[in-house]
Structure 1
C-alpha cells in the first residue's frame, strides 16, 4: 500500500463505479496502471466488493433500530445466527462483549413491522433478553474505513 493506492481507494469509496480513466487523471497514472492496482487491491482482499447503496427511506424502510440480544447459553448461538441469516430485515449482526451477546441493526418499513421482527427474535430458542433502540436520525453513516487512515 502506498499513497497512490490510498488515492485510488478514496476515489472508489466515493464512487465505486468511477471509470479507471477518470481515476487515472486524479492520481496521475496511466489507465492500465490504475486497473492493475485495482486488481491487486481486490486480489489482496483490501477491496472486498463493489456495491450499490440503496436509500432506505426512498425504498420505504423508514425505521432503523439496534437490538441487543442476550442468549441463555452459548449452545443457542448457531440457532440464533441461522435465524439472523434468514431474516432480510436484519442488515447487521455483531457478536459483542458486555451485558448482551449480539447487536443487530434492523431496518423496517414501520414500527408495526419492527414489532413483528422483535417478536420473531424473542421466539428464537435461547433468546433470554432484548433491548431495542430506535434511531430518530443519523448524523454520520460511513460504510468503510477512511483510506487516509490506512497508512497511519
Structure 2
C-alpha cells in the first residue's frame, strides 16, 4: 500500500459512495487505475466493507457507555461472546487484558435503558460476575486511520 492507496482510502472513508471518476481527479490517476487499486484493496482485505455512519442522537440513542465486564471462568467466555454478538445495542466487544475480561461499547436511549441492560441483560449472562460502567460525556474523535 502506497501514498496513493492511502489517499484513496481517506476519500472513501469520508464518502464511501465516491465514484472512481471523482477519486481519479483527486489522485491524478485514470478511472481504470483507481478502480484497479480499489479492487486490490478489497481483495487484500484492507477494505472490509462499505457502510454508512448513523447519527445516534438523531435516531434516539443519546447515551454511550463503556462497560468493563469480569467473568468467573474462561469456559463461559465463548458463550458471553455469542450473546454479545446478538445484542443490537452492543457496538463493540473487546476481549482484554487488565482489570476486566471484556470491554463493551454500548449505545442507549436513556438511563432507564442502561439500567435495564445492566440489571436484566448483562448480569443474566452466565459467567458475568461484575460490570463497571463508564458513561461517555462527549466524543472528541472516533475513527480508524491507516
TM-score range (shorter-chain normalised) is over 0.9
Residue of structure 2 equivalent to 1:121? 122
Deviation per residue, 1:23-74 (Å, 9 max, x gap): 0000001111101110000000011111001000000000100000000010
Give me the TM-score of the superposition, normalised by structure 1: 0.92
How far is the alpha carbon of 1:137 from its aligned partner? 1.0
- SS of the residue 1:24 aligns to: helix
How well do the aligned residues superpose, as a CA RMSD in angstroms?
A: 0.8
Q: Distance in 1 between matches of 2:122 and 2:40?
A: 41
Deviation per residue, 1:2-40 (Å, 9 max, x gap): 121111111111111111101000000111110111000
Runs of 4+ in structure 1 over 3 Å off: none
Greater RCO, 1 or 2 (C-alpha within 8 Å, sep 6+): 1
Question: Unmatched 5+ residue regions in structure 2?
Answer: none
